[in-house]
Amino acid sequence: MNETQSILKAEDLSKRYEDGVLAVDHLNLNIYPGEVYCLLGANGAGKTTTINLFLNFIPPTTGTCYIKGIDVNRDPLEAKKHVAFVSENVMLYGNFTARQNLDFFAKLGGKANLAKEDYYQVMRRVSLQEKAFDQRVKNFSKGMRQKLGISIAIIKDAPAILLDEPTSGLDPKAATEFLEIMAELKTEGKAILMSTHDIFRAKEIGDRVGIMKEGRLVMERTRQELQVEDLVKIYIDYMKSEPLI
Amino acid sequence: MTGTIVRKEILSNLLSYKFTAVIVLVVVLVATSFFVMARDYKERLADYQLIRPEPGAPIAVLPPNPLSIFARGLEEAMTRSFEVGAVGIDVRAGQSSGNVIFSFFPTPDFVHIIKVVLSLVALLLGFDAVSREKEAGTLKLALSNAVSRSSLLLGKWTGNFLSLAVPFLLVTGLGLSVMAFDPALRMSPGALGRLGLILAAALIYIALFLSLGLLVSSLVRRSATSLVVLLLLWSVIVFVLPNMGSLLARQIVDVPSVRSLSEKRQQIWTREVLLSYGDRSGWGARIQAMNEEFDRMEEDYRLKFNRLVRTSRSINRISPAASFVDAATEIAGTGVSEETRLKSEVIRYKNQALPSLARDRTAREAPAFSYRARPLGEVLSDGGLFDLAWLSVFTILLFAAGTVAFIRTDPR
Ligand SMILES: Nc1ncnc2c1ncn2[C@@H]1O[C@H](COP(=O)(O)OP(=O)(O)OP(=O)(O)O)[C@@H](O)[C@H]1O
Ligand SMILES: [Mg+2]
């Protein structure tokens, strides 16, 4: 396996739902170790669908997703060993404390022998307040749950991370801290695919930024290109160019 | 991996108020049922000591069955006293329970609680097992790991099954141990074995409803929908279907009413008395002839009645609740077949006792009536095993359907 092999790969990926909506339209994507890819796009552009296809929640209509070279559709269990996931707005188990939630998902993620201190450490890393560690998640705010969701992804320690609107609901301080965590994970060599509506943070954190529209990847820019181009303007332009029928 | 999920389900139940409330309800109901029914049994036992026939009296009456504490079934009918007279059998109320409340509410025996309450509790545990996790997004999160959907569902099933079965068995065991302190309630090893089998049937029955809950929970998106659908199914299975069988069977099999039968008997008796007025010479022969006529009438009635019972039992079996009650009461010896068998034994006894009665109406030299319930093997081969197998197959089918539904479900 050479250095440049992509960890997350979508090949000619399409998804047409039963009701006829073409949510993802022949998408090709490669995300490499140590790279953060930000997926922008209006509501309904197909970002969540793309992530769901990577996780084998729904079967693709055409094409294939690979995680670490493993065909997700053919060997989903093996593929999912190598990916961590942060979903948008997960409620988690309300009856469980933060640590109990973390413990359960860590075990599902194949991390069986973690000590109490390991859990505390990762919760500190996402700067969840100390007193919440052993409190029931039921009373957590959205941002607190989001942080816990991120710590669940971190503790799995997988080479690929998929995040669906991870910063929604985070306060500015927490969002900044989140970007720092992403930067750390990047230096650890993770391949990160993140859908977001936050253009500014996408520009800040993304090594590459893609814009999706009606299931198609209509634009892709690297960090270097964005130094000279204005991402906001590009985004607005692409959103404006509605085909007139 | 499945073990992790089993533990999580149990922990999650233990931490929920819903679960605690429901388990407390089960414990209280089972304990109350044991207490009430055991007291009732002891009263009936004392009653039996009073009405127990003297040696030589042509009376057939059974002592109360200790297993009727758990599965009341037709115990009331089976412990009536059958008095053999010149014109057939006089049936009297036997050891009636002093519990007036029983005539207002269905007898709160163990089998009834399992049939109605435990099935509902199993559904309450299962109805949102999958849908709640869809709503909370935890299903997506769990399935983003290397865990197969079938092992996830199996873990959920096992965790919830244990959450209900363990407290249920504990309170039952505790109740039995308390009862063992009372010499009047002490049960033979054979009876305990039968009780064990009833418990096994109860566990299958709970498993069935849990599987049904998981199936519906996997099919729908929202827990509220699941609850409504399941409550509807539950009331059909537990209340509607078991009565449909008897209603339908009545349409298929035409059985004269018991009243018309006894009226007919009275008519024959009057006719014979009038005919023989002033001529008592052939009385003994007349009694013999009359008796044969009654026997024919009753035989005809019984054949039809038994056919009615068989037909309605077969139809009722569609409902797992009816199957369960059928199996449990037959195993306990208070079931429909056992009662039918007792009745024919009583008739045989009548024919045996009659000659001595014809000779001298005041003679007290009738043979004693003895009845032994069918051995367990016979109960099982005679429909009990079929009921248990049917419950098991139904459970497996529901679980399989649940697995398919869960594998196909969209985790969002
Ligand atoms: N289960 C489904 N069945 C049918 N159509 C669906 C389903 N899920 C999504 N869609 C459709 O697919 C398209 C893409 O939806 P998707 O959720 O992927 O968008 P998104 O980019 O994540 O949007 P948002 O920014 O609002 O999260 C939309 O038109 C949506 O209506
Ligand atoms: Mg989305």
- Please choose, from the candidates B191, B235, B160, the residue with its C-alpha nearest in 3D space to the C-alpha of residue B402: B160
pLDDT at A37: 97
Determine the 3-state secondary structure of A234 from DSSP.
helix
With an 8 Å Cβ cutoff, the interface of chain A facing chain B consists of 52, 55, 57-58, 77-78, 80-81, 83-85, 87, 89-96, 100, 104-105, 107-110, 149, 152, 156, 162
Both structure tokens of A108? 């599902």
Both structure tokens of B146? 């290397």
A3 pLDDT higher than 60: no
Q: Distance (Å, rounded) from C-alpha B13 to C-alpha B8?
A: 8
Distance from the Cα of residue B12 to its chain's centroid: 34
By Cβ distance, the residue of A104, A152, A162 closest to B4 is A104
How far, CA to CA in Å, does A6 sit from each of A69, A192, A194, A212?
8, 11, 16, 20
Cβ within 8 Å of A, B 268-297: none
Q: Do B147 and A83 touch (CB under 8 A)?
A: no
Q: Which atom of ligand 1 is nearest to the CA of A49?
A: 18
pLDDT in tens, A92-137: 999 999 999 999 999 999 998 899 999 999 999 999 999 999 999 9
Are B310 and B246 spatial neighbours (Cβ–Cβ below 8 Å)? no
- How remote is the CA of residue B109 from the centroid of ligand 1, in Å? 54
Both structure tokens of B379? 């109960």
In A, which residues are within 8 Å of B1 by CB distance? 108
How far, CA to CA in Å, does B380 sit from each of B68, B337, B389?
18, 12, 11
Mean per-residue pLDDT of chain A: 91
Q: Which phi and psi (to 5°) does residue A211 adopt?
A: -115, 125
Both structure tokens of A74? 């053919």
Residue A203: what residue type?
K
pLDDT at B53: 83
pLDDT at A244: 47
More confident residue, A204 or A191: A191
Determine how many CB atoms are found less than 10 A away from the CB of residue B176. Answer: 16
Determine how many CB atoms are found less than 10 A away from the CB of residue A223. Answer: 15
- Please choose, from the candidates B69, B330, B97, B28, the residue with its C-alpha nearest in 3D space to the C-alpha of residue B176: B69
What does DSSP say about strands A160-164 and A83-86: parallel, antiparallel, or unpaired? parallel
Kindly state the DSSP code that residue A46 receives in the 8-state scheme.
Answer: S
Are A192 and A39 spatial neighbours (Cβ–Cβ below 8 Å)? no
Q: Distance (Å, rounded) from C-alpha A31 to C-alpha A195?
A: 13
More confident residue, B113 or B280: B113
Residue A164: what residue type?
D
B352 pLDDT higher than 90: no
pLDDT at A194: 96
In A, which residues are within 8 Å of B411 by CB distance? 57
ipTM of the complex: 0.92
pLDDT at B280: 66
A242 pLDDT higher than 80: no
Average pLDDT (A23-29) is 96
Residue A160: what residue type?
A
Q: pTM higher than 0.80, yes or no?
A: yes
B243 pLDDT higher than 90: no
pLDDT at A2: 47
Whole-number percent of chain B with pLDDT over 70: 92
pLDDT in tens, B391-406: 999 999 999 999 999 9
Q: Please state at what angle helix A116-125 crosses helix A98-108, rounded to 10 degrees.
A: 100
Q: Distance (Å, rounded) from C-alpha B4 to C-alpha A139?
A: 25
pLDDT at B322: 93
Token pair 């594998």: residue: B407
Q: Which phi and psi (to 5°) does residue B140 adopt?
A: -60, -45
